[in-house]
Structure 1
Amino acid sequence: MADALRSDGKIYVVVGVILVILLVLIGYIVKADKKISKLEKRLSNDDINHEV
């Protein structure tokens, strides 16, 4: 199967699609991590303010 894709030049399309999917997933994870970190920081600040 890989030989057929390589001979038709479609292997580059497959690799490109996989790369795009991976980049989107990594971007989503980084964005979600930033949002979660921001919420955790906000929650810890709220906890400190309520304890005082």
Structure 2
Amino acid sequence: MRKILAFVLTLFSLNLQAQQQIEMADQLRSDGKIYVVVAVVSIILLGILLYLIRLDTKISKLEKESRNENE
């Protein structure tokens, strides 16, 4: 019961924090620079995703070669 109560109270506190206005975000939005920030973050995340996909294919290829050598 205590864990459920703690979880519910945590959700309420997070909701209250999310309603506060952040001055930096408001300034970036009013200057139109928020789109630059979103674009840069999107490019970084896309680069990380592509790197992980490429790494996965290389690892899969090495695992396949290793299995073929052991047979």
Same fold, judged at TM 0.5 (above): yes
Q: Could you list the runs of 5+ residues in structure 2 that have no partner in the other structure? A: 1-23
Q: Work out whether 1:26 is the aligned partner of 2:49.
A: yes
State the SS of the aligned residue for 2:68. Answer: helix
| Structure 2 CA distance for aligned equivalents of residues 30 and 47 of structure 1 | 26
CA deviations 1:8-35 (Å, max 9, x no partner) are 0000000000000000000000000000
**CA RMSD between the two structures:** 0.2
Structure 1 residue ranges (4+ consecutive) displaced by more than 3 angstroms after TM superposition: none
1:3 to 26, 41, 59: 26
Q: How many residues align?
A: 48
Amino acid at match of 1:25: I
Q: Percent identity?
A: 58
What TM-score do the two structures reach when normalised by structure 2?
A: 0.67
Q: Could you list the runs of 5+ residues in structure 1 that have no partner in the other structure? A: none
